[in-house]
C-alpha cells in the first residue's frame, strides 16, 4: 500500500491526483520569483516539456500559465484566434463543451461538430466539414475526454487539419506525459496540458507547447491581460524564465521534482504502461463484480474509466463513495449526460497493489 500517514486516502481521479512524498516535500522550500536560481528552474522546465513533446524541439516552444488547465485552454483560444478567424470545435464530452463556452464568452466565431459522448470524434466528418466551410481557420479537440475516458484519434484529425492548412489546437490535459506521442508527427500547433495530471505534479499552473513560428505572430491578439499567451511567452523568453505576474513558486518546484521522477520511471512510455496495467486490472476486476464500463474497450484511455451503475439492486452512489472513502479511496461521480455512472482514475502515484485492494474493497461493498 503506497500511502503515507499524511494521506488519508488515495485520489483515484484524473487530477488532482495522489503525488509522491518527494513531490510534496519539494514544496517545503520558499522561492523568490525574481531570483536567478528560481528562473533557471523555469527555463529547465520549459525546455524539458518541449523535449518530451517532440523530437523536433527547435520548432516548438513552451509557455507556463498560472491557474488550472482551463486557464491555459482559454489563454490559447483567446490569444491564438484573430478577430477574423473562425474556430471549429470537435465535441464528444464536457471538456469540448467547455471550449465552446470559452469561445462564446470571448465572442469568437465558431462552428461545432458534435458527436455522442460514447463515440470518438471522426476524421472523415471533420474533413467534410472543413471542405464545406473554407472560412474555418482553427480546429480544436480534446485528446482524452475525461467525461468518459474516451481517447480521441488526434493523429487522424491532425492529418485532416494539415491537409486543409488550418491551425490545430489540442487539449491534452489528461494525457500528456502519460501517453507517448510526438506533437509534430500529429500536426499539433498548440498543445495544452497541466501540472497536476500525468506528470504527477500538484495544481497551480498549466502549460502550452506551440510552434515557435506561430507563437511569434500572436502579439496583440489576446482578449485578456492575465491570459495573454504571447505576452506571457515573450516575458519568459526575454526575461530568462521570468513570469509576468506572481508565479506559483512551490508548485513549479514540485513540478520539476515530478519531471525527474517521470524520467526515473522511464518517461511517458513506461508511465503509460503502468497506467494501462492499472486500468486493465480495474476493468477486469470490476467486470467480475458486475460493474460494466460505459465504453467499449477499444475506446478506453488508461487514465480514467466510466462505469455504469449496477442495475440489479438499489445502488446509491453516495453510499458507495462514502464506503470507499472510509477505506482510503476517493473516486469521481459520473459526468455523462444520459447514463447513471461513476468514474475511477488510474493515474498518479497509483500501482497494481492499490488497484487490487480497491477491487477487494468494492467487492466487500457489493456483497454486504
Q: Which of 244, 211, 226, 239 is nearest to 80 (CA)?
A: 211
Residue 186 has pLDDT above 80, yes or no: yes
Please list, residue by residue across 213-234, b when 16 or more beta carbons sit within 10 angstroms of its beta carbon and e when fewer do.
eebeebeebbbeeebbbbbbbb
User: Which pLDDT score is estimated for 169?
Assistant: 98
Band the pLDDT of 314: cuts 50, 70, 90. Answer: confident
- Domains for the chain: give ranges and CATH numbers: 10-18+266-366 (3.90.1150.10), 26-263 (3.40.640.10)
Q: Is the pLDDT of residue 14 over 60?
A: yes
How confident is the model over 206-216, as pLDDT tens digits? 999 999 999 99
% of the chain beyond a pLDDT of 90: 90
User: Could you give the CA distance from residue 231 to residue 210 in angstroms, rounded to a whole number?
Assistant: 14
Query: How far, in Å, CA of 283 to CA of 92, rounded?
Result: 22
Q: How confident is the model at residue 338 (pLDDT cuts 50, 70, 90)?
A: confident
- Distance, CA of 232 to CA of 188 (rounded, Å): 20
* Average pLDDT of every residue of the chain: 95
Cell of 123: 476524421
Instruction: List, for residues 232-250, the tens digit of each pLDDT value.
Output: 999 999 999 999 999 999 9
Confidence of residue 2 (pLDDT cuts 50, 70, 90): very low
Contact indicator for 212, 60 with CB cutoff of 8 Å: yes
pLDDT bin (cut points 50, 70, 90) of residue 322 is very high
- At 335 the pLDDT is 82
Amino acid at each position: 500500500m503506497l500511502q503515507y500517514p499524511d494521506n488519508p486516502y488515495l485520489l483515484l481521479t484524473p487530477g488532482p491526483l495522489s503525488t509522491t512524498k518527494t513531490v510534496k516535500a519539494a514544496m517545503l522550500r520558499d522561492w523568490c520569483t525574481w531570483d536567478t536560481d528560481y528562473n533557471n528552474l523555469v527555463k529547465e522546465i520549459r525546455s524539458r516539456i518541449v523535449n518530451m513533446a517532440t523530437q523536433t524541439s527547435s520548432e516548438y516552444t513552451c509557455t507556463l500559465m498560472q491557474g488550472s488547465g482551463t486557464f491555459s485552454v482559454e489563454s490559447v483560444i483567446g490569444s491564438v484566434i484573430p478577430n477574423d478567424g473562425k474556430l471549429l470545435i470537435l465535441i464528444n464530452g464536457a471538456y469540448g463543451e467547455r471550449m465552446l463556452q470559452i469561445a462564446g464568452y470571448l465572442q469568437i466565431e465558431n462552428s461545432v461538430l458534435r458527436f455522442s459522448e460514447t463515440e470518438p470524434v471522426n476524421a472523415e466528418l471533420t474533413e467534410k466539414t472543413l471542405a464545406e466551410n473554407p472560412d474555418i481557420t482553427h480546429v480544436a479537440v480534446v485528446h482524452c475526454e475525461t467525461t468518459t475516458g474516451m481517447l480521441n484519434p488526434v493523429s487522424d484529425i491532425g492529418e485532416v487539419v494539415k491537409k486543409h492548412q488550418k491551425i490545430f489546437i489540442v487539449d491534452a490535459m489528461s494525457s500528456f506525459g502519460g501517453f507517448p506521442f510526438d506533437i509534430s508527427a500529429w500536426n499539433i500547433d498548440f498543445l495544452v496540458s497541466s501540472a497536476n495530471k500525468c506528470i504527477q505534479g500538484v495544481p497551480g499552473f498549466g502549460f502550452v507547447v506551440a510552434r515557435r513560428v506561430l507563437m511569434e505572430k500572436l502579439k496583440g491578439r489576446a482578449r485578456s491581460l492575465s491570459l495573454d499567451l504571447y505576452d506571457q511567452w515573450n516575458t519568459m523568453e526575454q526575461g530568462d524564465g521570468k513570469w509576468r505576474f506572481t508565479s506559483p513558486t512551490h508548485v513549479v518546484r514540485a513540478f520539476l521534482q515530478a519531471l525527474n521522477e517521470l524520467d526515473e520511471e522511464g518517461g511517458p512510455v513506461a508511465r503509460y504502461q503502468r497506467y494501462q496495467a492499472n486500468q486493465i486490472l480495474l476493468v477486469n476486476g470490476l467486470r467480475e463484480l458486475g460493474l460494466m464500463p460505459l465504453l467499449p474497450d477499444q475506446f478506453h484511455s488508461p487514465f480514467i474509466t466510466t462505469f455504469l451503475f449496477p442495475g440489479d439492486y438499489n445502488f446509491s452512489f453516495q453510499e458507495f463513495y462514502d464506503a470507499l472513502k472510509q477505506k482510503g479511496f476517493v473516486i469521481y461521480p459520473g459526468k455523462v449526460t444520459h447514463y447513471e455512472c461513476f468514474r475511477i482514475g488510474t493515474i498518479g502515484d497509483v500501482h497494481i497493489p492499490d488497484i487490487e485492494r480497491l477491487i477487494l474493497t468494492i467487492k466487500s461493498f457489493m456483497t454486504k
